[in-house]
Amino acid sequence: MTPFPVTVRGLGLGLPAGVVTNDDLAKTLDTNDEWISARTGIRSRRVLEDDKALSHIAILAGKEALEESGVDPNDIHLTIVATVTPDTFMPATACRVAAALGCHQSGALDLNIACSGFLYAFITACAQIKSGLAQNVLVIGGDTLSRITNWEDRRTAVLFGDGAGAAVLSAGGPGELLGYDYGAKGHLSEALQITAGPSRPSDNPTDYKTQMDGRAVFRFATAAMVDSSRRSLAMAQLPLDKVDLVVPHQANLRIIESAAKKWGLPMEKVCVNLDKYGNVSAGSIPIALAEAKKEGRIKPGHHILLAGFGGGLSWGSVVLKWGNLC
Ligand code: UT7
């Protein structure tokens, strides 16, 4: 692919204040810090207050990204909120978020492909920009997985958290989209699903909560993330040793370490923050990206690989050359 000029001008974080540690969970669940830490790397997660919804943290993240970008909210042409936990099914959460942020000239849509959501939204934003339909796109990935977790199921309850991250993408350099890849294998969807929904109602409340075959998702995850990255890097014509930083989906430290081994990259080049936040689904990659930027781990000219997987079962990856605008 010919490198396409698109620049991330601003990044933002929206994190709930409430922290729930592994020890907190062990008070009500048959689990313990040792098991959770050893099997997942997670030590705590954030949980949103009961009286707030996804839009609250999506707006926090979007506001920070807009401020950092210097882009006038009225110059945002599209707002995408990637999430599996919208405030409501109507309106789209993106409509509430765009209105609250003053993005009054912006189209607004929610995008649901679970944990791969931010990557799909990022690629969609680039397509809008490349087609000339948009100059600036606000991409937010966020989830309140605490709302769709069965807190009595120790196999899933220890994994998930709430949070949002945002990026403002603008047409033109100095940044570049070098490669991308996404896909889904719907025939594997039962490994990670919620069986009830608006057009498939159920009398059983747990049908509205996340159900997962952890081992099946684990097997899928590493291969999907690594294979997708290879396709993106091939499109970018970039060898792995030229990647400066990888921002992977934060589901399980063992999955990330196994992927790093297959990539042949040292863990110093791989972002990990799941110890603090657990798996935040569509929020996981933008939160890790924004934190890496704040920590000074991303410099102008760096080659950044974003890679993830999730419900669908789905995957995605993006290779960027980082611009120097934010
Ligand atoms: O965004 C995508 C979302 N999901 C994922 O990425 C999840 C991918 N899968 C995983 O991360 C791992 O499979 C898990 C962390 C979910 C589970 O780890 P595992 O090493 O695959 O454990 P397991 O499911 O094989 O369970 C091992 C044992 C079982 O006990 P028995 O049958 O050996 O006696 C489980 O009942 O651990 C038990 N167990 C627990 N024990 C304490 C399962 N959950 C817990 C728990 N605390 N929370």
How many domains is the chain built from?
2
Predicted confidence (pLDDT) at residue 324 exceeds the cutoff of 90: no
The pLDDT value given to residue 244: 98
Residue 168 resides in a domain: yes
Secondary structure, 3-state, 140-157? EEEEEHHHHCCCCCHHHH
Predicted confidence (pLDDT) at residue 52 exceeds the cutoff of 70: yes
Residues 226 and 169 in one domain: no
For residue 275, the domain's CATH number is: 3.40.47.10
Chain segment 186-203, per-residue pLDDT in tens: 999 999 999 999 999 999
Residue 326 resides in a domain: no
Predicted confidence (pLDDT) at residue 325 exceeds the cutoff of 70: no
Residues 168 and 187 in one domain: no
Residue 56 resides in a domain: yes
Residues 66 and 190 in one domain: no
% the chain with pLDDT above 90? 98
Assess whether the C-beta atom of 4 lies below 6 angstroms from ligand 1.
no
Chain segment 286-303, per-residue pLDDT in tens: 999 999 999 999 999 999
Segment 228-256 mean pLDDT: 98
Residues 46 and 117 in one domain: yes
Question: In this structure, what token pair is assigned to residue 321?
Answer: 């050359």
Residues 155 and 226 in one domain: no
Residues 141 and 21 in one domain: yes
Residues 206 and 307 in one domain: yes
Residue 252 resides in a domain: yes
Query: Distance from the CA of 206 to the center of ligand 1, in angstroms?
Result: 19
297 burial class (0-12, 13-18, 19+ CB within 10 angstroms)?
middle
Residues 10 and 145 in one domain: yes
Assess whether the C-beta atom of 149 lies below 6 angstroms from ligand 1.
no
Residue 12 resides in a domain: yes
Q: Final residue of a domain: which of 118, 148, 173?
A: 173
Residues 130 and 217 in one domain: no
Q: Specify the pTM.
A: 0.97
Query: Distance from the CA of 36 to the center of ligand 1, in angstroms?
Result: 9
The pLDDT value given to residue 3: 86
Residue type, 37: S
Segment 52-75 mean pLDDT: 98
The three-state secondary structure class of 308 is: strand
Residues 84 and 195 in one domain: no
Segment 149-171 mean pLDDT: 97
Q: Provide the residue range defining the domain that includes 151.
A: 4-173
Q: How confident is the model at residue 79 (pLDDT cuts 50, 70, 90)?
A: very high
Query: Distance from the CA of 255 to the center of ligand 1, in angstroms?
Result: 13
Q: Are 77 and 134 in contact (CB under 8 A)?
A: yes
Residues 97 and 217 in one domain: no
**Which residue among 24, 35, 148, 155 has the greatest number of ligand 1 atoms within 8 angstroms of its CB, and so is best to mutate?**
155
Predicted confidence (pLDDT) at residue 315 exceeds the cutoff of 80: yes
Backbone angles phi and psi of 207, in degrees to 5: -70, -15
- What is the distance, to the nearest Å, from the Cα of residue 84 to the centroid of all Cα atoms in its chain? 11
The pLDDT value given to residue 326: 54
Q: Final residue of a domain: which of 173, 204, 237?
A: 173
Place of tokens 């993830």: 308
The pLDDT value given to residue 250: 98
Residue 159 resides in a domain: yes
Q: Final residue of a domain: which of 173, 199, 228?
A: 173
The pLDDT value given to residue 173: 87
Residues 184 and 166 in one domain: no
Of 148 and 2, which is predicted with more confidence? 148
Mean predicted lDDT score pLDDT of the chain:
97
Predicted confidence (pLDDT) at residue 139 exceeds the cutoff of 80: yes
Q: Are 172 and 226 in contact (CB under 8 A)?
A: no
